[in-house]
Amino acid sequence: MARRLHTRGAGTKGPPDPPAKAAASEDSPASAKPLLRWDEVPDDFVECFILSGYRRLPCTAQECLASVLKPTNETLNFWTHFIPLLLFLSKFGHLFFLSGGDVPFHHPWLLPLWCYASGVLLTFAMSCTAHVFSCLSLRLRAAFFYLDYASISYYGFGSTVAYYYYLLPSLSLLDARVMTPYVQQRLGWHVDCTRLIALYRALVLPVAFLLAVACTVACCKSRTDWCSYPFALRTFVFIMPLSMACPIMLESWLFDLRGENPTLFVHFYRRYFWLVVAAFFNVSKIPERIQPGLFDIIGHSHQLFHIFTFLSIYDQVHYVEEGLRQFLKAPPAAPTFSGTVGYMLLLVVCLGLVIRKFLNHSEFCSKK
């Protein structure tokens, strides 16, 4: 009996069962094996409203790699992040090794940029890996997507490290000499903002660290029946670390950020526009929700989600680079290894422990 279209979290039922098609025989050559429909693969491999273009299960690693050149429903998921990966490799390679500046690539001033660059590159690399090798086995599929979630949390924390050193020090909002008279003039409060700002600076990185771990746990749990709307939850969780950029938004409301730093203002708000668009496609499952089967190979929501997340990071790189340029003109105390790379290494250990815990429980390895 044909299986019902798997749309857990979508809130709709699938279309009428199509006539069952016989899967390719096991003894035929790999190149001759046809792509499968949604009713010919296990439920845990079925994507919402995607009816065709599935690879056979289980695939070998060689077959997975070969599939990136075939019209499957995962092919453009790979390419929409592999091409940006190459672009950012070139960009960061130029910044570290070919910019012609006076700061060598190993200088402490560049430690936050190394943290940020590693996050950007890792999240694109893990996304590519997860989409290519997602049909090796059920357990490996879960492992790759857990690593994908962890890499996004790693990237979010790396972004916060870059903000902390390159962007936040230049904000009037975090300058007690500016904020104390501003609060007194606007609100009539005689408050010395020095301690509040010092407390905020002391808590930014620890809070961002805990948030990265918590987001990874939530995303991993979303792959179980515990979560009715996994895509909405993951989108919300991915957005949570972006709250660490709130001071930049407040700066634009309270002060003339557009006039003082137009590069930051334009790219910051354009980045968040791309993120809103990406979130819309990831949650709504449009356009495949409207016409299931039409966008299986080209144009489905996850491909659009990839494209707009790439555009958001592309804009972010621009204003992080501008922040670095301003930082190098008058650098404060040099970033420390423990306050940058040390944090990132500790986060890797914590995220690894989270993934190991979920993989050791079979219930977390058998859902979408």
pLDDT band at 24 (very low <50, low <70, confident <90, very high): very low
Q: Can you give the pLDDT at residue 34?
A: 82
Q: CA–CA separation, 207 vs 203, rounded Å?
A: 6
pTM of the complete model: 0.87
Instruction: Identify whether 104 is preceded by a cis peptide bond (ω within 30 of 0).
Output: no
Q: Can you give the pLDDT at residue 26?
A: 42
> Over the chain, what is the mean pLDDT?
86
Q: What is the pLDDT of residues 157-193, one digit of tens each?
A: 999 999 999 999 999 999 999 998 988 888 888 888 8
Output the six-digit token pair for 352. Answer: 């690894």
Q: Which residues pair with 36 in a beta bridge?
A: 54
Q: What is the pLDDT of residues 49-67, one digit of tens each?
A: 999 999 998 899 999 999 9
Q: CA–CA separation, 77 vs 297, rounded Å?
A: 10
Confidence check: pLDDT of 17 > 90: no
Output the six-digit token pair for 300. Answer: 């489905």
Phi, psi of 15 (to 5 degrees): -70, 170
Name the DSSP letter for residue 245: G
Establish whether 306 is an annotated binding residue: yes
Q: Which residues pair with 54 in a beta bridge?
A: 36
Q: What is the pLDDT of residues 294-323, one digit of tens each?
A: 999 999 999 999 999 999 999 999 999 999
Output the six-digit token pair for 295. Answer: 């966008």
Mean pLDDT of 256-269: 94
Q: Can you give the pLDDT at residue 227?
A: 64
Q: Where are the domains of the chain?
A: 72-84+110-366
Q: Can you give the pLDDT at residue 50?
A: 95
pLDDT band at 43 (very low <50, low <70, confident <90, very high): confident
Mean pLDDT of 319-330: 93
Confidence check: pLDDT of 27 > 90: no
R_g of the chain, CA atoms, integer Å: 23
Confidence check: pLDDT of 237 > 90: no
Confidence check: pLDDT of 357 > 80: yes
Q: CA–CA separation, 200 vs 207, rounded Å?
A: 10
Confidence check: pLDDT of 102 > 90: no
Q: CA–CA separation, 305 vs 27, rounded Å?
A: 38
Establish whether 361 is an annotated binding residue: no
The region of weakest confidence among 40-49, 110-119, 202-211, 222-231 is: 222-231
Q: Can you give the pLDDT at residue 223?
A: 78
Q: Can you give the pLDDT at residue 8?
A: 39
Mean pLDDT of 217-232: 76
CA neighbours within 13 Å on the CB side: how many for 18? Answer: 14
Q: CA–CA separation, 43 vs 172, rounded Å?
A: 53
Q: Can you give the pLDDT at residue 21?
A: 39
